[in-house]
Homo-oligomer: A and B are copies of this chain.
Amino acid sequence: MEYQQKQVSIREVRFGKNVTIVQPSNIYQCQLGDDCFVGPFVEIQNDVSIGDNCRVQSHSFICSLVSLGNNCFVGHGVIFVNDLFTNGGPSGNPSLWKKTTIGNNVYFGSNSTILPVSICDNVVIGAGAVVTKNITVPGVYAGNPAKKLR
Beyond A8-B40, A40-B8, is A110–B113 a contact (Cβ under 8 Å)?
yes
B127, A113: Cβ atoms under 8 Å? yes
Q: Mark A13-54, 1 if CB is under 8 A from B, else 0.
A: 101001111111010000010000001110100000000000
How many interface residues does A have (CB within 8 Å)? 55
Interface of A, helix, strand, loop or mixed by DSSP: loop
Contact of A61 among B22, B24, B77, B105 (CB under 8 A): B77
A115, B130: Cβ atoms under 8 Å? no
Give every chain B residue within 8 A of A8 (Cβ-Cβ): 22-24, 40-41
CB distance from A115 to the nearest CB of B (A): 6
- Asked whether any CB of chain B lies closer than 8 Å to the CB of A93, the reply is no
A24, B21: Cβ atoms under 8 Å? no
Q: Mark A68-91, 1 if CB is under 8 A from B, else 0.
A: 000001011101010001001110
CB distance from A96 to the nearest CB of B (A): 14
A22, B6: Cβ atoms under 8 Å? yes
Give every chain B residue within 8 A of A23 (Cβ-Cβ): 5-8
Residue in B closest to A105 when the chains form the complex, CB atoms: B89
B61, A76: Cβ atoms under 8 Å? yes
